[in-house]
């Protein structure tokens, strides 16, 4: 086990690596072709109002691709469904569902670096998280390790046992990793602070003019002045400021001017932050963090849960080592806490420090229109990785279930600045 040297990772709760190697460095996503993602799901049937297509895209953000496809087909973007949001700087293949669209209609979609191929029909739309897994083929260029083969072997073995299943920096914002901070203020009911954070919190990787505009808003709270100085491409911030100019002091309304999916992401990001913090505390306490101890919960692939006690700890360990279940941490939500193990205590202390209670999540649900009941997430990610070394380049092949990050695997090998992992 090794501690991350990067302050940003500490800020996001990502304090530890499972492997003790110094890291191979290198460059991720030197080209889009170096990061290939293939969604794995059963092929659909042949009947139903939803046309199921295989979407292949290069250097496309999914939401933008959906908007452009909808425009080309002259339909609402709400008639397009998908099971997972794939990486932008990559070549990706995934399934999408199109309501009320025929195979012939697809000829109207002519977009550079994007291809849609019909593969069947369904009676139901595709829903987020419904796919079985993602298959990754990732090449890390120009590694710097003097003993590349040995490091790769050590980290590959760690991936087979279990590495920390952190939420990666993408969860919190790449350029501005602040979404969890906005979510915290929403949960506190401090909508003014949430708006100030989203509009006024400057980050070092932003252009100088953007940083100055944000800092001015944070200092002066002048919505009209900020609206005049913030660049036009910052559409979400400008939407909030437009609302405040028209409705001074209505910070709740300013938040509601954001797209619902973006608004719902803030609270989810805060839940993710709590999970990362609890996982890092667990790793500091238990080097073999993926193995069960009394008070832990076990999560099985079919959704079944079980509690670990002193009496069943040995049997639980055997189940985990055989890959039949994983130790999981409960991310908090509107439901009352259901455990009092060490991980639960870490999260409870973080919530108490911020005066956030289950009712806070219920109130946020009413605002956002998304339920935040709470959910289990395994503490470890385990996968069989195949690594091929060519000179100073390393190509990794592996599969992950929905909700787990390929960059988490790359992070163990590279141990690079998190901003270079995107």
pLDDT in tens, the chain (422 residues): 999 999 999 999 999 999 999 999 999 999 999 999 999 988 888 999 999 999 999 999 888 899 899 999 999 988 999 988 888 889 999 999 999 999 999 999 999 999 999 999 999 999 887 788 999 999 999 999 999 999 999 999 999 999 999 999 989 987 889 999 999 999 999 999 999 999 999 888 889 989 999 999 899 999 999 999 998 888 899 999 999 999 999 999 999 999 888 898 999 999 999 999 999 999 999 999 999 999 999 999 888 899 999 999 999 999 999 989 999 999 999 988 777 889 999 999 999 999 999 999 999 999 988 899 999 999 999 999 999 999 999 999 999 998 898 999 999 999 999 887 77
Q: Is the dihedral of CA 187, 338, 403, 369 positive or negative?
A: negative
Residue 126 CA to residue 128 CA, distance in Å, equals 7
- 3-state secondary structure labels for all residues of 249-306: CCHHHHHHCCCHHHHHHHHHHHHHHHHHHHHHHHHHHCCCCCCCCCCCEEECCCCCEE
Q: Give the model's pLDDT for residue 347.
A: 95
pLDDT at 340 (0 to 100) = 81
Catalytic residues: 87
State if pTM tops 0.85.
yes
The backbone region for 375, taken as left when phi is positive above 0, alpha when psi lies in -120 to 50, beta otherwise, is: beta
Domains and CATH numbers, the chain: 17-32+133-163+384-421 (3.30.2350.20), 42-122 (3.30.70.3160), 179-258 (1.10.1510.30), 266-378 (3.30.2350.20)
């Amino acid at each position: 086990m090794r501690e991350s040297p990067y302050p940003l990772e500490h800020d996001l709760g990502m304090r530890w690596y499972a492997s003790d190697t110094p890291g191979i460095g290198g460059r991720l996503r030197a080209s889009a072709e170096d990061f290939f993602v293939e969604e794995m799901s059963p092929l659909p049937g042949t009947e139903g109002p939803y046309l199921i297509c295989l979407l292949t895209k290069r250097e496309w953000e999914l939401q933008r691709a959906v908007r452009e496809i909808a425009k080309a087909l002259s339909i609402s973007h709400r008639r397009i469904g998908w099971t997972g949001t794939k990486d932008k700087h990559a070549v990706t293949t995934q399934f999408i569902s199109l309501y009320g669209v025929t195979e012939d209609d697809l000829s109207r979609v002519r977009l550079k670096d994007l291809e849609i191929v019909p593969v069947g029909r369904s009676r139901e739309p595709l829903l987020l998280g419904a796919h079985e897994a993602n298959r990754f083929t990732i090449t890390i260029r120009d590694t710097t390790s003097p003993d590349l083969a040995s490091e790769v072997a050590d980290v590959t073995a760690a991936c087979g046992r279990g590495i920390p299943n952190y939420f990666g920096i993408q969860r919190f914002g790449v350029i501005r990793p602040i979404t969890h901070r906005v979510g915290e203020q929403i949960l506190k009911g401090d909508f003014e602070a949430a708006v100030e954070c989203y509009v006024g919190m400057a980050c070092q990787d932003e252009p100088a003019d953007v940083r100055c505009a944000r800092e001015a808003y944070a200092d002066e709270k002048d919505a009209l002045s900020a609206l005049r100085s913030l660049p036009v491409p910052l559409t979400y911030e400008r939407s909030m400021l437009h609302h405040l100019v028209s409705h001074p002091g209505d910070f709740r309304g300013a938040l509601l001017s954001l797209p619902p999916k973006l608004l719902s992401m803030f609270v989810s990001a805060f839940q993710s932050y709590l999970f990362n913090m609890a996982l890092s505390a667990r790793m500091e306490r238990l080097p073999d963090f993926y193995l069960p101890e009394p008070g832990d919960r076990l999560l099985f692939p079919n959704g079944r849960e079980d509690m670990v006690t002193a009496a069943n700890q040995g049997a639980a360990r055997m189940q985990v080592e055989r890959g039949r279940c994983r130790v999981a941490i409960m991310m908090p939500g509107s439901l009352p806490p259901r455990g009092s193990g060490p991980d639960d205590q870490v999260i409870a202390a973080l919530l108490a420090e911020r005066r956030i209670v289950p009712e806070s999540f219920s109130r946020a649900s009413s605002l956002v229109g998304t339920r935040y009941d709470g959910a289990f997430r395994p503490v470890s990610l385990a996968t069989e990785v195949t690594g091929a070394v060519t000179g100073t380049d390393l190509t990794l092949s592996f599969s992950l279930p929905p909700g787990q990050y390929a960059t988490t695997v790359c992070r163990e090998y590279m141990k690079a600045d998190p901003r270079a992992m995107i």
